[in-house]
A and B are shown apart, each in its own frame.
Chain A
Amino acid sequence: AQSVAQPEDQVNVAEGNPLTVKCTYSVSGNPYLFWYVQYPNRGLQFLLKYITGDNLVKGSYGFEAEFNKSQTSFHLKKPSALVSDSALYFCAVRAAAGTGFQKLVFGTGTRLLVSP
């Protein structure tokens, strides 16, 4: 079964410093990987995805993610954190292929706290 793991419940970083939110995956076949962000009392917002191609994926709001097949990782990164980046981040993997719709399996989430 497809799954993702987010080993950190919370990541703390100072504003202006680089940030990394970790995600590892376990899939059979090609991985379809996603990052979503959730602000308090809001739905999820799509940040970026890896389907195929370049290992460095660029997304919204200055975020990027590095796909590493040998380490089965898909870590989310940003060169310079903002206080407004504080939110809950979910890594997700597409669990069912060839069905016409997208069944996602989410990781447990990592809370990012950026201090001024």
Chain B
Amino acid sequence: DTEVTQTPKHLVMGMTNKKSLKCEQHMGHRAMYWYKQKAKKPPELMFVYSYEKLSINESVPSRFSPECPNSSLLNLHLHALQPEDSALYLCASSQVMPRDDSLDYEQYFGPGTRLTVT
């Protein structure tokens, strides 16, 4: 199974709502990623989890709160978002790289959640 699943596929929320995005993989990957992609732009890294611990936060506003409850699941909790946060949110996973950089592994992406903030 080389699939990364994301739910929901589409989400419309008001600026005062609280919602969560979910991501799941069963490939045994211990690195998981959240990206934000605006229309016709490349994905921008938001967060990286390695062995269920937050390794990178790319200066993302606190209205985005990631959570990695176990090695297969990754959540992104949303609260008090702004209209400019409307985007495609992509989850990805990969094997963890050895620290000597002797190997590298590709990331597997989910189909994304299309978020609209009204």
For this complex, into which size category does the number of interface residues on chain B fall? 20 to 34
CB contacts under 8 Å to A, within B30-78, are: 31, 33, 40-43, 45, 48, 50, 55-56
Any A CB within 8 A of the CB of B100: yes
Which one of A11-19, A45-53, A79-87 contacts B? A45-53
Any B CB within 8 A of the CB of A43: yes
* B contact residues vs A (CB 8 Å cutoff): 4, 6, 31, 33, 40-43, 45, 48, 50, 55-56, 90, 92, 94, 96-101, 103-112, 114
* A contact residues vs B (CB 8 Å cutoff): 30, 32, 34, 36, 41-46, 49, 51, 90, 94, 97-104, 106-109
Given the interface pairs A98-B101, A101-B97, A107-B42, the reply to whether A42 lies near B31 with Cβ below 8 Å is no
Given contacts A49-B104, A106-B42, 13 further A-B contacts (CB under 8 A): A42-B111, A46-B107, A100-B50, A100-B96, A100-B98, A100-B99, A101-B50, A101-B56, A102-B94, A102-B104, A102-B105, A103-B45, A106-B43
- What A residues does B96 contact at CB under 8 A? 100-101
Given the interface pairs A43-B4, A97-B101, A108-B42, the reply to whether A103 lies near B56 with Cβ below 8 Å is yes
**Do A94 and B99 have beta carbons less than 8 Å apart?**
no
Given the interface pairs A104-B107, A109-B40, the reply to whether A43 lies near B112 with Cβ below 8 Å is yes
5 smallest CB-CB distances across A and B, nearest first, come from A43-B109, A106-B42, A46-B106, A101-B31, A44-B109
**Do A101 and B94 have beta carbons less than 8 Å apart?**
yes
Given the interface pairs A43-B4, A101-B31, A103-B45, the reply to whether A51 lies near B94 with Cβ below 8 Å is no
13 contacts between A and B (CB under 8 A): A30-B101, A36-B109, A43-B112, A46-B106, A90-B42, A94-B104, A97-B101, A98-B99, A100-B31, A101-B48, A102-B105, A103-B45, A109-B41
- What A residues does B98 contact at CB under 8 A? 100
- What B residues does A100 contact at CB under 8 A? 31, 50, 55, 96-99
- Residue in A36, A98, A101 with the greatest tally of chain B CB atoms within 10 Å: A101
